[in-house]
Amino acid sequence: MDTPHRSGHVAVIGRPNVGKSTLTNALVGAKVSIVSPRPQTTRHRLLGIATFEQGQILLVDTPGLHRDQGKSTATAMHRWMNRAARGALEGVDVALLVVRAGQWEEADAFAYQALHQAKVPVVLVVNQVDRLKDKTALLPYLAQVSEGREFAAVHPISALKRKGLEPLVKDVLAMLPEQPPLYAEDEITDKSQRFLAGELVREQLMRQLGEELPYATTVEIERFVVDGALLRIGAVIWVERDGQKAIVIGKGGERLREIGARARQQMEQLFGAKVFLETWVRVREGWSDDEAALRAFGYHD
C-alpha cells in the first residue's frame, strides 16, 4: 500500500549563527534564505518549501532571538526581529531546535523551555558536527543535553556538508499530519523574487563589510522588471551616515562593484535568468531605529 502524503509547518529555532538558514536551504535545495558568518543575518521570517515524494515540509526560518530583547536599548530593528522569531511558533506541527555540536548555552536551554511549554514536539538538531575535532565527544554531549528533556528525536547533522539530512527528513515527515501538499511542488518559498533579490544584495553586505557596518545597512529594491529573458533589477543600499556610504562604495567604487557582481551571480543562479543589476548607496539617518523607515524598507507584517 502507498504511504500517505504528509505535510506541515516546521519551525527552525535556535541561537543566531548555529546554521538555521543553512539547514533550511539544504532541505529546500536552493538558497531561499541568506547565510553569512555573522550573527543576525536573517531579519525576516521566511518559509522554505521542501518537497519530497512522501511529503512536504514547510520550514519557518527565523531570525534568532536578539539578546537585547525587552531592554530599552533594543532598536526598532531588534524588536522587529524578535517579533518575527516569536511569531514563528504559531500553527507549527514540529520545531527543530538547532544547536551547535559541543555547545549548550543558556539560550539553548531557554529556547527548549519555550518550545516545551508551547507543547510543540521538539526535534533536537545538533548541527556543525563536521567542526567537532573529537568525534567521541558527541555521544556524551547528546546524553548530557537529553538528560531531563523530552525530544521527539535527536539528529546530529552537518547542514553545510549535507550529512545526516535524510534520516532527519524521514523523522520529521512522520510527525506531520496526513494531508496533501500545501504548495505547488515547484514553489520554494513564500517570498517574492523581488524580496529575494534584496536579500541577496544584503547577504553580500553581511559578507563583505567589516565590523558593525552591515547592521547599519538595508536594501530596497526600487526596480524589478522582466524584460524578455532578462531581469532588470535596481537596488538601493541604505546606510545611516555619509561616512558609511563612502565605505560601502569603496576606493574608486571597487567594493560596490564587487558587492553587485556577487549578488548578481547569486540572483542568476536562484532565478535561472540573466540579471542586469544596478546599485546605489543612499543615506537615511537612523533608519534602523525609525519605525516609519523600517516599514518603508519592508520590515512589516
Q: Measured from the CB of residue 148, what is the shortest distance to ligand GDP in angstroms? A: 25
Asked if residue 128 binds Mg ion (CB under 5 A), the reply is: no
| Closest-CA residue to 64 (of 88, 30, 32) | 88
CA atoms of 159 and 23, how far apart (whole Å): 5
The burial of 252, by beta-carbon neighbours within 10 Å (0-12 exposed, 13-18 middle, 19 or more buried), is given as exposed
245 is in an annotated binding site: no
By CB under 5 A, the count of residues binding Mg ion is: 3
Part in contact with Mg ion (CB under 5 A); list of ranges 13-21, 91-99, 121-129, 228-236 = 13-21
Q: Smaller CB distance to ligand GDP: residue 179 or 269? A: 269
C-alpha cell at 201: 544584495
Q: List the single partner that 16 binds among ligand GDP, Mg ion, none, CB under 5 to 8 Å by kind.
A: ligand GDP
Q: What angle do CA 136, 139, 142 make, to 5 degrees?
A: 140
Asked if residue 204 binds Mg ion (CB under 5 A), the reply is: no
Binding site for ligand GDP (CB under 6 A): 14, 16-22, 35-37, 41-42, 64, 127-128, 130-131, 158-160
Q: Tell me, what amino acid is at 28? A: V
20 is in an annotated binding site: yes
Q: List the single partner that 158 binds among Mg ion, ligand GDP, none, CB under 5 to 8 Å by kind.
A: ligand GDP
Phi/psi at 220 (nearest 5 deg)? -120, 125
Q: List the single partner that 130 binds among ligand GDP, Mg ion, none, CB under 5 to 8 Å by kind.
A: ligand GDP
Contact residue for Mg ion among 21, 40, 189, 218 (CB under 5 A): 21
Question: Does residue 50 contact residue 29 with C-beta atoms inside 8 Å?
Answer: yes
Asked if residue 42 binds Mg ion (CB under 5 A), the reply is: yes
Q: Smaller CB distance to Mg ion: residue 20 or 255? A: 20
64 is in an annotated binding site: yes
Binding-site members for GTP are 14-21, 61-65
Footprint of Mg ion (CB under 5 A): 20-21, 42
